[in-house]
Amino acid sequence: MTSIITSRRTILTVLGQAAALSGDWPQHLGPARNGFYPDADFAWNGGGLQTAWTYSIGAGFAGPVAAAGKVFAFHRVGSFEVLEALDAKSGKPIWKAEYATGYRDDFGFDEGPRGTPCVADGRVFTYGAEGTLTGTDAATGKRLWQRAAMKEFSAPKGYFGAVCAPVVFEGRVLVGVGGKSGGGIVAFDALTGKTAWQALNDEAGYSSPVVAVLNGQPRAVFFTREGLAVLDPRDGKVQGQMKWRSRSAATVNAATPLISGNQIFLTSSYGTGAILVDMSSGQPKTVWSGDDSMSCHYATPVLRDGFLYGYHGRQEMGAELRCVEWKTGKVKWTNDKFGSGSILLVGKRILMVRETGQIVLAEAVPTGFKGVATHRAFAGTVRANAALAGGMLFVRNATDQLAAYRP
């Protein structure tokens, strides 16, 4: 009986994270890591958005997050990776913390951090481009601990450095490090930074993990370079695995897994395609798969009422915006001139930030693309995921600016 009660409490903790933080956007893809904004205070129904404030920042693709009245920006200035806390309403700086970095991009792309910060229990956890994991006090900016995770676990640099956005569960910071000798996935103690557990030898992809309830139990779901890995987030025991990657060496598994009930949706590009797997038996079983439904290069789609909305195709070749049925993979509609970007679900609507800097609002319906409003944010490539909190939208470009908008 005790174990049943404990299990129920744990499940409520996992499910309650979204409800407890519904006014915030504390981590990658929001409170539940599914791109959904649960509040109705972002009432944009047409016309342009108002610019509340702008703030100059450095390089990087790490998206902003917002919690407890603060916006946290993780970026690079010169030879330092910088974490800043700003007042969410005014954009005024509150504190700044930084450390030296020597990361160099092999392809001459952006050299700033890629992974979005995670705010939990009064702390901010960041994972820099060269695999430096840091715990920082959210109120003061004081560094609490730091680990050179990729170096310590002998993880290869990969094509574009470290990208994983940490996720926190019951005092553990979970990261896809991609190290050898069982250092593929590592959990760190949130208070001290010490290693809590480690598992697998999978190299890291560019996807970030999710903690969700599967078959009545909390599970950490990772999309590594090799494919799906489902673990118990409390001790790291592997619960299920499935290979899902391209035969090509130039693969980037980047989209975050989406979970509905006991089913997991994975999507990639490079000829890999999408797959829906069912975990009801405890092991992954394919429901459908293919490369002609929604093969996302790096942006995670959103799910509403049994339909996926997201980007299909390679970013550099001009992606399409699509609606796909969750249970079958059938394409319901396509906007073939849309291009790449990121996407969120705001109530009954989808909100997209295109790479070109344009913000687009549309109805989340399977009958066809129905635009509601558009707004030109700013110049420069926009690849970082946006954040929604307190009725405000926070967007950054890849070079020099973070901005806050309201209807």
Residue 3: per-residue pLDDT: 36
| Token couple for 264 | 């997991």
* CATH homologous superfamily, domain 2-406: YVTN repeat-like/Quinoprotein amine dehydrogenase (2.130.10.10)
With a pLDDT cut of 70, the percent of the chain lying above it is: 94
Residue 250: per-residue pLDDT: 66
C-alpha 219/C-alpha 207 separation (Å) is 16
C-alpha 99/C-alpha 82 separation (Å) is 7
The mean pLDDT value of the chain amounts to 92
C-alpha 220/C-alpha 218 separation (Å) is 7
- CA-nearest of 121, 91, 42, 35 to 390 is 42
> What is the H or E stretch that residue 230 is in?
strand 227-231
Which carries the bigger pLDDT value, residue 22 or residue 355? 355
- CA-nearest of 201, 198, 110, 104 to 147 is 198
- Residue 12: how many CB atoms within 10 A of its CB? 12
202-254 pLDDT per residue, tens: 999 899 999 999 999 999 999 999 999 999 999 999 999 999 987 777 667 89
pTM assigned to the model:
0.94
Q: Is 12 helix (H, G, I), strand (E, B) or coil?
A: helix
With a pLDDT cut of 90, the percent of the chain lying above it is: 83
Residue 22: per-residue pLDDT: 52
Q: What are phi and psi of 7, to 5 degrees?
A: -60, -45
Q: How confident is the model at residue 39 (pLDDT cuts 50, 70, 90)?
A: confident
Rounded average pLDDT over 296-324? 93
**Domain definitions of the chain by residue range:** 2-406
Q: Considering Cα of 301, then 302, then 306, then 308, what sign does the dihedral take?
A: negative
C-alpha 377/C-alpha 382 separation (Å) is 10
| Token couple for 288 | 């459908």
Residue 26: per-residue pLDDT: 98
Q: Is 149 helix (H, G, I), strand (E, B) or coil?
A: helix
C-alpha 118/C-alpha 124 separation (Å) is 6
Rounded average pLDDT over 108-122? 95
Residue 245: per-residue pLDDT: 84
166-206 pLDDT per residue, tens: 999 999 999 999 999 999 999 999 999 999 999 999 999 89
